[in-house]
Structure 1
Amino acid sequence: MNYKPLLALLSGALMSAHAWSAPEYIADVDITSFDGTVLDANLFVPETPAPAGGYPTVIFTNSWGLEKHQYHFQAKEMAENGYLVLSYSTRGFGQSEGLVDVAGDNSLSDVGVLIDWLEANYPVGKLGMAGISYGGGISLLSAAKHPRVDAVAALSGWADVIEALYPNETVNLVWGTLLVTSAFHKEAELEQVWSDLRSGQNLEQVTQFGAQRSAVSYVDEINQNGTAVLLSNNFADYLFKPNSMTDFYSLLEGPKKLMLNPGTHAITETLTGNNGHIWSTSFRWFDHHLKGENNGIDTEPKVDMTVRISNKLEQFEDYPVTEESTTWYLQPRFTLFNTARMDSDKYDGWSWTNEFHGGADTFAGTGIPLVSDALEGFGIPVYAPMIAINGYYAIEYKSPVQWETLKIRGEPKLEMWVEPSKEEVQLNLHLYDVGPLGLGRLITHAPITLHSEQTGKKQKIEVELFTTSYDVPAGHRVFLAIDTQGYVYQKPEDTNYTISVPYSSSKVSSLTVPHL
């Protein structure tokens, strides 16, 4: 039997179907906003007729420093699947006019104009917004301001601007500088806010600036609008840490989904492509909430966590993912070369004091800023030799050997008594997985800066380390290494200080680790 005519017929039919479904691409669309600012956009229009109720529609918003072409491949795939897709450059970026206002009133009003323009020119059905980083933040804020936004996919977005740039009252120097210097057409207020934050001045105004641009300030409006919200953040994202996003997720009352992934800010979403877990889940989110497809995403577990290093995907019903935890109590060290212990029993010996000092960094750290964070997404951890950490400038504590795999999931918490010698001091907390050879792999970290504290007064600090998902292998220990400097954060102007750590039955310090 000759199969060639049949194959040719099938090939022709497939090619015809593909050509018929290819969307129309309009490369340049100028849309005039409320104040006369012209926004640069592009548009994919499905070739198929609009369904009853209009096209499911998605607006893509660019990341900081990028523009309307950022999501070309995602937009094209969605248009081939029947979506009307508008991608635009936010004011001040790309070919759009105006000045960057960091998701301020002008940028959010622009979104309303874009929705009006779409509805005036095309049959628009349910509408969603999506974006990475800056685009994710604007998408969340738009969900609060514009009830017409039915669903959102906020990838590497933020819920709290101040927490991003000033975690535990510590200036996020690397990321803040990168943001300010990479926006070439920005409102003067941004430079002033950054200057005030770095100098510790006008912090009330800085906080107000951040609150106006933080989705957590408008969670009631999002809940009232009933917006379906998908959130995705990365463990080594030291700009928009997952902590504030998990808190924000817990406040949402409508349909919601949370994805927590290895890697750094915006890189994981970008490099995994359309078929990666983040984008494929985002597409399914819109298919269900905008197109009405019964694809099961509404009945699946709400929380996806991918374990660091192994990249194993786990799913949980909600966040926090576990109520189990282990608490270790900090014990004193007896020399600068001695690693102190963390035990399950509280310290009840003689009163004791340890000291470590500011003035120098140590081998405890987060690696090369931006580079090491990105490599973690490929399963390459940040290493540190524990024996090389200078005991004059740091203090270390080690847990008992873990005879079974310790599956850390969530936010470790440190409660610690300290006595600073100066009014401003900084602590950088690092949690490591350490094997028999003494080489540590970074599990998570967090900074804290104490300002205008009473010099020479014992005080208790409480610090939530950054959200993590990490498996400590059997036979390894957990190490807590604390020093006073890190490449990512701005250090105090005067680093010649001493941190004293008191131990007594009434001054008990502890580390609590959540785990499965």
Structure 2
Amino acid sequence: MKTTPLLGLLGGALLSFQCLAAPQFIPDLDITTFDGTELDANLFVPDSAPPPGGYPTVLFTNSWVLDKNEYLLQAEALAEDGYLVMSYSTRGFGKSGGLVDVAGDNSIRDTRVLIDWLEANYPVGKLALSGISYGAGISLLTAAADPRVDAVAALSGWADVVEALYPNETVNLVWGSLLVNTAFHREPVVDNVWSDLRNGVNIDGVREFGAARSALAMVDALNDNGTAVLISNNFADYLFKPNSMTDLYTLLEGPKKLLLNPGTHAITEFLGGNNGHIWQTTFRWFDRYLRGAANGIDSEPRVDMTVRIDNRLEQFQDFPVTDQRQQWYLHPRYGYLDSGDLKGYPYGGWSWRNEFHGGADTRAGTGIPLVSDALEGLGIPVYTNMLGINGYHAIEYHSPIQWRKMRIRGTPSLELWIRPSKPDVQLHLHLYDTDMLGLGRLVTHAPITLRGLEVGQEQRVEVDFFTTSYDLPAGHFLSLAIDTEGLLYQKLDDRNYTVEIPYRGSRVSRLSVPVL
């Protein structure tokens, strides 16, 4: 059969038109949910016919304060690749009605209604939920409640609400206040819970509120549903720390992948996603578990960990990424102007004790709240002058100079013996990379508030630091600094107390650091 030049030209034109055809964009959909509330949504419909079994479908949920337009770029790119994509504003945000309930029953029912609407109006195939921050939490909770959800990509999300706002029984004041005060249309229960937490009352009620909104409490349902779960969190996210999400990851039994990145809460995703890695991996996750694409993501190492500061990507088979731990034992200082030591063997000298006092912050800290966390994602860490830390209000310990690079990967922990002068004390623990001039670079930290202690009695405290990935350079040493206040966290009402650290054979305090 011969083809005339004219027919060839027309065919080429039609082919070019088909390649340039854009998906249909339907903005400002008003969808009525179960209680009559109107939810505002966008929809992208592919220009191609649905494949057998229906369109692979993605439902995006907004971050806190933001709305349905947050994911326009990602939604359009997916739709151009044949996905049916909806993004919406959760109740209380954007143009949606209703009140914010912090991923409560109403919000989860809303998401399920939107799935119903998609299935009633379009040929929906396999379906994924995704979102950043608030959207990540709602995605995980809906997937636990609804077996129709085949995959989730939870970015900068949480697995435990209480761990986020009350880490180690310490009120996360800056982040909590920011969240509550930016939800202008919120249910009264949100203010009640935050007030209880701030005032240290009805903590059992706070924990009950949190458990109903925490994927860790629903991991069995995720496993029963066989949901393919992608988790991405950031090392300097001091709202939704990586720790509870790594706990969730270890309990998942279905397809799973974990991304751990530099940067703070949600900023890494908004600024391109760790040099594009987060969003590229998310799209590959959808392709594999919604379209069945043999792209290899299911056979690759399941943990992608990017080293802080130099942003080097490393891959590991699972989390924890190493079973090897460097043990450092705390040895005493001999004056307020002195520092203690971190040594590779327990203290065995004369019985000794050190003390430091509450009532003031010191140079040991996490930097300027929110600002320093954001800069960390750009490779600008928190620095402090270790020589300027006030020895009356803090204590610090230094390891010997490390002549080989120390590759810290995972969750450091501290076992610390203390003798408090009051029943309630607060400790802020910081690990630093310190150079020969005494300039320290923050590696990780953790707060802990201890209540109801036996005054004047020696007792052991165990604390996990926030998960990190950091290379301590050769020629530097590891430093541990402990004080009693931090800019991110709510202070105790009574700050006039003393903490003693005893040293003897039966009172061994130890720092444990995961290393490669």
Range class of TM-score, shorter chain:
over 0.9
Give the aligned residue type for 1:97. Answer: G
Unaligned 5+ segments in structure 1 are: none
What TM-score do the two structures reach when normalised by structure 1? Answer: 0.97
Q: State the partner residue of 2:3.
A: none
Q: State the partner residue of 2:414.
A: 414
Q: State the partner residue of 1:486.
A: 486
Q: State the partner residue of 1:246.
A: 246
SS of residue in 2 equivalent to 1:71? helix
Map 1:266-285; keep pairs closer than 5 Å: 266-272=266-272, 276-285=276-285
Q: State the partner residue of 1:69.
A: 69
- Rounded to whole Å, the distance in 1 between the matches of 2:273 and 2:438 is 37
Give the aligned residue type for 1:242. Answer: P
Question: Is the contact between residue 74 and residue 274 of structure 1 (CA under 8 Å) also seen in structure 2?
Answer: no
SS of residue in 2 equivalent to 1:244? helix
In the TM superposition, what whole-angstrom CA distance separates every residue of 1:93-132 from its partner, at most 9, and x where no partner exists?
0000000000000000011100110000000000000000
How far the C-alpha of 1:17 sits from its partner, in A, is 3.3
Give the aligned residue type for 2:495. Answer: T
Q: State the partner residue of 2:136.
A: 136
In the TM superposition, what whole-angstrom CA distance separates every residue of 1:49-89 from its partner, at most 9, and x where no partner exists?
00000000000000001100000000000000000000000
- Rounded to whole Å, the distance in 1 between the matches of 2:33 and 2:231 is 28
Q: State the partner residue of 1:85.
A: 85
Question: Is the contact between residue 57 and residue 126 of structure 2 (CA under 8 Å) also seen in structure 1?
Answer: yes
Give the aligned residue type for 2:158. Answer: W
Q: State the partner residue of 2:391.
A: 391
Q: State the partner residue of 2:368.
A: 368
Map 1:88-487; keep pairs closer than 5 Å: 88-272=88-272, 276-487=276-487
- Rounded to whole Å, the distance in 1 between the matches of 2:412 and 2:11 is 58
How far the C-alpha of 1:274 sits from its partner, in A, is 10
In the TM superposition, what whole-angstrom CA distance separates every residue of 1:367-409 from its partner, at most 9, and x where no partner exists?
0100100111011110010000000000000011111100000
What TM-score do the two structures reach when normalised by structure 2? Answer: 0.97
Question: Is the contact between residue 160 and residue 244 of structure 1 (CA under 8 Å) also seen in structure 2?
Answer: yes
Question: Is the contact between residue 257 and residue 302 of structure 2 (CA under 8 Å) also seen in structure 1?
Answer: yes
In the TM superposition, what whole-angstrom CA distance separates every residue of 1:457-508 from its partner, at most 9, and x where no partner exists?
1110000000000000011100000011000000100111111111111000
Give the aligned residue type for 2:381. Answer: P
SS of residue in 2 equivalent to 1:29? strand
Give the aligned residue type for 1:19. Answer: L
Give the aligned residue type for 1:440. Answer: G
Structure 1 pair 16–482 and aligned structure 2 pair: CA distance change class (3 A): same
SS of residue in 1 equivalent to 2:36? coil
Unaligned 5+ segments in structure 2 are: 1-5
Give the aligned residue type for 1:42. Answer: N
How far the C-alpha of 1:18 sits from its partner, in A, is 3.1
SS of residue in 2 equivalent to 1:109? helix
SS of residue in 2 equivalent to 1:337? coil
SS of residue in 1 equivalent to 2:334? coil
Map 1:47-66; keep pairs closer than 5 Å: 47-66=47-66
In the TM superposition, what whole-angstrom CA distance separates every residue of 1:300-322 from its partner, at most 9, and x where no partner exists?
00000000000000000000000
Q: State the partner residue of 2:40.
A: 40
- Rounded to whole Å, the distance in 1 between the matches of 2:275 and 2:125 is 26
Question: Is the contact between residue 365 and residue 486 of structure 1 (CA under 8 Å) also seen in structure 2?
Answer: yes
Structure 1 pair 49–10 and aligned structure 2 pair: CA distance change class (3 A): closer
Q: State the partner residue of 1:19.
A: 20
In the TM superposition, what whole-angstrom CA distance separates every residue of 1:322-345 from its partner, at most 9, and x where no partner exists?
011110100000010111101111
- Rounded to whole Å, the distance in 2 between the matches of 1:251 and 1:44 is 35
Equivalent residue pairs, number:
509
- Rounded to whole Å, the distance in 1 between the matches of 2:441 and 2:215 is 33
Structure 1 pair 464–10 and aligned structure 2 pair: CA distance change class (3 A): farther
Structure 1 pair 31–434 and aligned structure 2 pair: CA distance change class (3 A): same
Give the aligned residue type for 1:126. Answer: K
Question: Is the contact between residue 262 and residue 274 of structure 2 (CA under 8 Å) also seen in structure 1?
Answer: no
Q: State the partner residue of 2:515.
A: 515
- Rounded to whole Å, the distance in 2 between the matches of 1:204 and 1:30 is 38
Structure 1 pair 393–121 and aligned structure 2 pair: CA distance change class (3 A): same
Pairwise CA RMSD: 1.4
How far the C-alpha of 1:350 sits from its partner, in A, is 1.0
Runs of 4+ residues deviating >2 angstroms: 8-15, 17-20
Question: Is the contact between residue 38 and residue 97 of structure 1 (CA under 8 Å) also seen in structure 2?
Answer: yes
Give the aligned residue type for 2:245. Answer: M
- Rounded to whole Å, the distance in 1 between the matches of 2:10 and 2:308 is 49
In the TM superposition, what whole-angstrom CA distance separates every residue of 1:142-172 from its partner, at most 9, and x where no partner exists?
1100100000000000000000000001000
In the TM superposition, what whole-angstrom CA distance separates every residue of 1:181-200 from its partner, at most 9, and x where no partner exists?
00000000000000000111
SS of residue in 2 equivalent to 1:216? helix
Question: Is the contact between residue 261 and residue 274 of structure 2 (CA under 8 Å) also seen in structure 1?
Answer: no
Q: State the partner residue of 1:499.
A: 499
Give the aligned residue type for 2:17. Answer: S
- Rounded to whole Å, the distance in 2 between the matches of 1:12 and 1:411 is 58
Give the aligned residue type for 2:96. Answer: S
